[in-house]
Amino acid sequence: MRNTSRQKNTLLTSTSDLENKYIIKFINSLMFSGKKTTAERILSQSFDLIKKTTQSDPIQIFEKAIQNVEPIIQMRSIRVAGSNYQVPVEINPSKQMTYAIKWIIESARKRNEKGMAIKLCKEFIDASKNTGQAVQKKETIHRMAESNRAYTHYRW
């Protein structure tokens, strides 16, 4: 057995960043094959890029981006008298955060930039400005819910 102990290095700026519920959830969603340190490194690099490009606090931009992408309503398929209806249903807050994080990661992976840190940086900046692919996905779901508002009485 080795007698030496390795020091745990935190890649984010402070431990308060790690305690942020959005950041912890985002790192766990970004992670592939259990490689959490790689996901932390990618997120910290994207925060550094955000700080360089916008000259503002990257954590605030990150939280604003997630809040701009969080959906309020989702569509559920309900079968009534032999026909299916898309019924708009409200989402609880924890599920809203999950959808927002998932959509930001998906839209960042679809971007054409070179590295994942650059892709995340651009997507965070776009989402904080209410533009970008993740915000468009939220808006299409809300438009669909608005058009199917007549079926809300089928909600259970």
- Residue 73 phi/psi, 5-degree rounding, is -125, 145
**Cα–Cα dist 77/86, whole Å:** 5
Q: Do residues 30 and 43 touch, judged by C-beta distance below 8 A?
A: yes
What's the chain look like in SS3?
CCCCCCCCCCCCCCHHHHHCHHHHHHHHHHCCCCCHHHHHHHHHHHHHHHHHHHCCCHHHHHHHHHHHHCCCEEEEEEEECCEEEEEEEECCHHHHHHHHHHHHHHHHHHCCCCCHHHHHHHHHHHHHCCCCHHHHHHHHHHHHHHHCHHHHHHCC
Tens of pLDDT, residues 9-61:
444 545 455 467 778 888 998 888 888 899 999 999 999 999 999 898 888 89
pLDDT of residue 7: 46
Whether residue 103 lies inside any domain: the answer is yes
Question: What is the span of the domain harbouring residue 125?
Answer: 15-154
Decide if 30 is inside a domain: yes
Query: What pLDDT sits at residue 93?
Result: 85
Contact 121, 50 (CB under 8 A): yes
Q: Residues 148, 87: contact at Cβ < 8 Å?
A: yes
User: What pLDDT score was predicted for residue 74?
Assistant: 81
Question: Would you say residue 150 lies in a domain?
Answer: yes
The pLDDT tens digits for 67-87 are 999 998 888 777 778 877 778
**What is residue 154's predicted lDDT score, i.e. its pLDDT?**
59
Q: How many domains does the chain have?
A: 1
| Residue 84 in domain | yes
Residues 100-153 have pLDDT tens digits of 999 999 999 998 989 999 999 999 999 999 998 999 998 998 888 887 766 665
- Output the pLDDT for position 8: 47
Domain-located, residue 10: no
Side chain identity at residue 61, one-letter code: I
3 in any annotated domain: no
**How far is residue 132's CA from residue 123's CA, in Å, rounded to a whole number?**
7
pLDDT of residue 63: 87
**Residue that the structure tokens 């700080």 belong to:** 51
Considering the entire predicted model, what is its pTM? 0.79
User: Which pLDDT value is given to residue 47?
Assistant: 92
pLDDT for the residue numbered 1: 53
* Residue 8 belongs to a domain: no
Q: What's the CATH code of the domain at 74? A: 1.10.455.10
Cβ neighbours for 13, distance < 8 A, ≥ 6 positions apart: 44, 47
- Let me know if residue 6 belongs to a domain: no
